Chain A
Amino acid sequence: MADGVISVEKIKAFWHSQVHDPDKWDLNKKLLRAVGLFAGSIVLMRQYEQPTKRKAHKGGAPPMASPSRSVFPFIFMLFLVGCSARSLYPLPSRRHNGNRQPLQTFRPYNIAHRGSNGEIPEETTAAYKKAIEEGTDFIETDILASKDGVLISFHDVILDDTTDIDEHPEFIDRKRTYEVQGLNRTGYFTVDFTLKELKSLRVKQRYPFRDQQYNGKFSIITFEEFISIALDANRVVGIYPEMKNPVFINQRVKWSGGKKFEDKFVETLKKYGYRGSYMSEQWLKRPAFIQSFAPTSLIHVSNQTDLPKILLIDDTTTPTQDTNQSYWEITSDKYLDFIKEYIVGIGPWKDTLVTASNNYLRKPTDLVARAHAHNLQVHPYTFRNENQFIHFNFSQDPYREFDYWLNEIGVDGLFTDFTGSLHQFQEWTSPLSTGERDANRLLDKIVFMISKFKLKKLV
């Protein structure tokens, strides 16, 4: 009996991999079409054979009924094959998909925190596309849910700070007060709006000191739309979605079949072919990190996917929302030893890694060292260019801050609002070598060096 069950699973998995994996499906549809044509042509040939045979035997008029009866299923099958099979040639914009520039893995990851939102409002298509343009390795998002169970890219549980919800009188009666992570919050919650209603809102820039000119232009996007932005890029760009406020979401939103927020989350990833453990071949084709502040959610999804997971760590005064553990407990060696079975790294708030006093950084804590000792990566958040976020040691210079964290502390990835600046810093100090351009520059440098000696001789 057990064997039988396993093989059903295997069949399901096989079906999944053959139908839902775009690369395999490409091949399969071609095969299907070929088979369909082959079978169809055989049937057609047999149709035309039969009447002549009968003619030879009986010498009478051939009955029309029998050919037409067997033609119908043939035509139907052709229809079926014709409609389900896609074009044999790749779409012009996808022709080079096999040769996309791969993910860089030789220097710390540039993670576009909510997209590149220095000017453009966070978590919008435009912000993510800008981040990709600016050279990010991963685009990051926070996943919440709408009333009707659709997963959306949005950071706050409430809509007040980053949308124009106040300007929608039709929703004025939706204001509520809920308890979120032990605090009462009042506002318009995403879980009280259907996707259609959320789509009628417009996003705005969170910080007043950032550019306001794009307010009202963009709308909230879904998890699937976010994924398609990454897949559509002309080089390999990873995704870094967060299971945000899972405790709260699961309280407010119910899915059919007893599924939870985390299940739908992983389902969406699998639907688009995201799978594979860290640095595996499949993972490198579609890189992804799953992040969350809630350890039980990460442990729950460990059974469903082997994509790498990151445990986010909040401030020292905030306990975990699901297990109510303190910062000190979840950063202890014992806990890291336990959680490392499920995660590949941690994402702490940068001011807890190196404490600050009078706006000057002091000595680093040992958390990075201990995490690295447990073979866990460290991806601190969040780096911003504005001087109010930069400690005085760095002379209001974001590049000095990058330099400190990447070269002195030695972290493995950085969440930043300013993708372009981090990319520029990395390109200047640890560039991808580009072959020919570097070779020409080297030749110029050699000539320059030699010319100095020649001049000296003349003197």
Chain B
Amino acid sequence: MASQSIVPFIFLLLVAWCSARPLYPLPSRRNDRNKRPLQTFRPFNIAHRGSNGEIPEESAAAYMKAIEEGADFIETDILATKDGSLICFHDVNLDDTTDIVHHKEFANRKRTYEVQAVNITGYFTVDFTLEELKSLRLKQRYPFRDQQYNGMFSIITFEEFISIALDAPRVVGIYPEIKNPVFINQRVKWSGGKKYEDKFVETLKKYGYKGSYMSKEWLKQPAFIQSFAPTSLIYISNLTNLPKLFLIDDVNIPTQDTNQSYWEITSDNYLDFIKEYVVGIGPWKDNMVPVSGNYIETPSDFVARAHVQNLQVHPYTFRNENEFLHFNFSEDPYNEYDYWINKVGVDGLFTDFTGSLHQFQEWTSPFLSREEDAHKLLDKIALLISKFKHA
């Protein structure tokens, strides 16, 4: 009789022993409770696809570099694989930013699909399993950027992206995009009748992302959910109260799900409607301030109208290279930041060059929280006083 009751007991012990984790925190995580919080007193520095001035976009290295350089949020685009894994990748096709063309084993996967009413030919992520995608290597998109990291990094999953943010020594927010949801839902099916948006939110919840904008929970793990498709944003409003951002494409491109024009979705009427679901708008910067002869003109009233509806504005995308800078700024990216932050008054900026934006913000509106600042202040006071003594 005794041996019979011991066996389940021993079994229970084994189970408890295997599943329990150590009682002490891991050495690298000992200061987790005292992580420097997210700054909220100046516009957000959003690392657009990571810091990809040198390193290929959406790679682990690019995100880690962005965190090092001082980003407030790391941004990514979420797409799906054939077997339903969520990955960090911007284009629906692999041709421009991976070495897919060098993989003969996939030569027969080339397809032509219609994406947002345009026929695109190439190798699509939705035709590859995660394992196959992991065998590819990323490359730098722009030829004028550093090519030396081509072939070194692979595509990462949504979960790996999240872990990079959670692993940072300070609080770093995430800014994932529900990308091409119409196309993804056409091509990829999940079990249980779940859609792409459901899996997206599931992943966020799994890692503890929740809470409305500026709530206590949100500040511990900040996140914005962005998308060009308004119905996706409305759909997930029922699943999570994380803040959402509505992205707006160019003037001639209608929304992929509701086929509404740029003019319709930027009207006061529409802003009034969408503000129930989103906390802000993410427009293309050249639509907010029109350009002529490579000089910017008078800003449109868009930012003003958005702010009136209590909506934030996070324009995209700021890049340092002079071909992206209008002549008003004398080819100086800092002048561009100055204009958008101080004259136009936006609430966040998507930039490829996290370090430059961070440096600009540190020089013009720095943190006042450190001891070295206190000592510098004392030095300055002494200097001021000494001038009077001599006089």
Contact = CB atoms under 8 A, between A and B. Distances in A.
Interface of A: 116, 118-119, 209-211, 213, 358-359, 385-388, 392, 395-400, 418, 420-421, 424, 428-429, 433, 438-439, 442, 445-446, 448-449
A118 B374 CA distance: 39
B327 A211 contact: yes
Interface string B205-230: 00000000000000000000000000
Given A395-B53, A399-B356, A449-B368, A420 B321 contact: no
B355 interface: yes
B96 interface: no
A418 B330 CA distance: 7
- What is the size category of the interface that chain B forms with chain A? 20 to 34
A210 B356 CA distance: 22
Contact of B368 (A209, A359, A445): A445
A420 B323 contact: no
Which of A395, A399, A421, A448: most chain B Cβ within 10 A? Answer: A395
A221 B35 CA distance: 60
Closest 4 CB pairs of A and B: A396-B320, A385-B331, A428-B363, A387-B321
18 contacts: A118-B331, A209-B322, A211-B327, A387-B144, A392-B146, A395-B51, A396-B53, A396-B321, A396-B333, A397-B355, A399-B359, A429-B363, A433-B383, A438-B384, A442-B384, A445-B368, A449-B368, A449-B377
A439 B148 CA distance: 49
A213 B374 contact: no
Interface in B292-308: 293-294
Given A211-B327, A395-B355, A387 B148 contact: no
B364 A385 contact: no
Nearest to B321: A387
B73 interface: no
Contacts of B144: 387-388
Contacts of B134: none
Interface of B: 51, 53-54, 144, 146, 148, 293-294, 320-323, 327, 330-335, 353, 355-356, 359, 363-364, 368, 373-374, 377, 380-381, 383-384
Contacts of B332: 385, 398, 418, 420-421, 424
Given A418-B332, A421-B330, A445-B368, A387 B320 contact: yes
A400 B359 CA distance: 9
Contacts of A119: 327, 330
B147 to A, nearest CB: 9
Contact of B294 (A211, A392, A421, A442): A211
A420 B330 contact: yes
Nearest to A211: B327
Given A395-B353, A424-B334, A442 B321 contact: no
